[in-house]
């Protein structure tokens, strides 16, 4: 089941992070694109495991999922006993999230909201989750300030590292965007800049996890989970994940 909060996004801005996800086709195909196949399922399992660890004990916690998309994180947290609100700037993504919450028989309140100006009171939830969002926003620092304002305990985010292979893909996409192609020209972010932004708002890091050294697209193209685990384990053993692991997941605490 799902219930709805009042929409409050204001006028959509001329930026791909609004227009791209406004598409019904993108919304309906998002889960298959992100979590399809063995590597996609592995990504989802890692995400759910990390959220359980980051917010333990989950049961009874109030959690705001910013940029909830199709509600994957929100539904998993609700299944673990959290009281979850999922917000997104895309009505189409929220339509899919409502349907998936109903299929899972969990209560997730959903509604329209912009990560740059969240319509929630200061310290109004225990924790805020914001996954695969900052890389696409207009001003990620403003979004971090909002996440920290609303959370009274912890914030969980992830982002592609500027020291990882994702920097190459990001650069290529930005060039393609400048040439008029319809692509998600996401940014990469330096880990030190993210840590500084959280510290500026009174939050300290308690968990930092770096996932893949090789690009996720490469692992999906291979499509063999055993290969992915084996090669990434080896690269981690020689210290490369600390240098070039991405995405970086950060759990910060007030």
CA distance readout (Å), 232 to 33, 37, 72, 241, 246: 22, 18, 25, 8, 11
User: CB count, 10 Å around CB of 225?
Assistant: 14
pLDDT in tens, 62-88: 999 999 999 999 999 999 999 999 999
Q: Quote the tokens at residue 65.
A: 């999922």
pLDDT in tens, 107-131: 999 999 999 999 999 999 999 999 9
CA-CA distance, 64 to 109, in Å (whole number)?
Answer: 9
Q: Is the per-residue pLDDT at 11 higher than 50?
A: no
Residue span of the structural domain in which 6 resides: 2-253
pLDDT in tens, 167-192: 888 888 888 888 888 777 789 999 99
Q: Quote the tokens at residue 134.
A: 């900052």
- Confidence band (pLDDT; 50, 70, 90) for 13? low
Q: Quote the tokens at residue 30.
A: 């998002």
Span 230-247, average pLDDT? 94
How high does pLDDT run on average in the chain?
A: 92
Span 233-248, average pLDDT? 94
What pLDDT is attached to residue 64?
98
Q: Is the per-residue pLDDT at 9 higher than 70?
A: no
Bigger pLDDT: 251 vs 167: 251
- Inter-residue contact 137 to 224 (CB < 8 Å): no
Q: Is the per-residue pLDDT at 43 higher than 60?
A: yes
- Confidence band (pLDDT; 50, 70, 90) for 103? very high
189-198: string of b/e by CB count within 10 Å (b at 16+)? bebeebbebb
Q: Quote the tokens at residue 38.
A: 């063995």
Span 86-101, average pLDDT? 97
Span 86-98, average pLDDT? 97
For residue 179, give the DSSP letter: T
What pLDDT is attached to residue 169?
87
- CATH number of the structural domain spanning residue 139: 3.40.50.150
- Inter-residue contact 58 to 153 (CB < 8 Å): no
Total of domains in the chain: 1
Span 203-216, average pLDDT? 95
What pLDDT is attached to residue 3?
52
């Amino acid at each position: 089941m799902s219930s709805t909060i009042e929409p409050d996004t204001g006028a959509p801005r001329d930026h791909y992070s609004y227009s791209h996800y406004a598409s019904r086709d993108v919304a309906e195909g998002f889960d298959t694109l992100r979590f399809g196949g063995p590597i996609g399922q592995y990504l989802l399992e890692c995400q759910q495991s990390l959220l359980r660890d980051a917010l333990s004990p989950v049961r009874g916690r109030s959690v705001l999922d910013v940029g909830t998309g199709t509600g994957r994180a929100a539904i998993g947290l609700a299944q673990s006993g959290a009281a979850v609100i999922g917000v997104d700037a895309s009505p189409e993504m929220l339509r899919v999230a409502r349907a998936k919450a109903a299929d899972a028989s969990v209560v997730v309140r959903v509604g329209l909201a912009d990560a740059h100006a969240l319509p929630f009171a200061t310290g109004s939830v225990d924790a805020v989750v914001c996954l695969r969002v900052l890389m696409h926003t207009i001003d990620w620092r403003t979004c971090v300030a909002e996440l920290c304002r609303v959370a009274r305990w912890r914030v969980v985010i992830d982002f592609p590292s500027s020291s990882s292979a994702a920097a190459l893909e990001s650069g290529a996409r930005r060039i393609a965007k400048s040439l008029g192609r319809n692509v998600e020209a996401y940014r990469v972010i330096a880990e030190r800049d993210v840590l500084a932004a959280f510290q500026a708002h009174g939050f300290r890091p308690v968990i930092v996890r770096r996932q893949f050294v090789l690009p996720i697209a490469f692992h999906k193209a291979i499509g063999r989970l055993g290969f992915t685990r084996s090669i990434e384990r080896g690269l981690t053993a020689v210290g490369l994940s600390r240098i070039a692991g991405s995405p970086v997941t950060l759990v910060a605490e007030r």
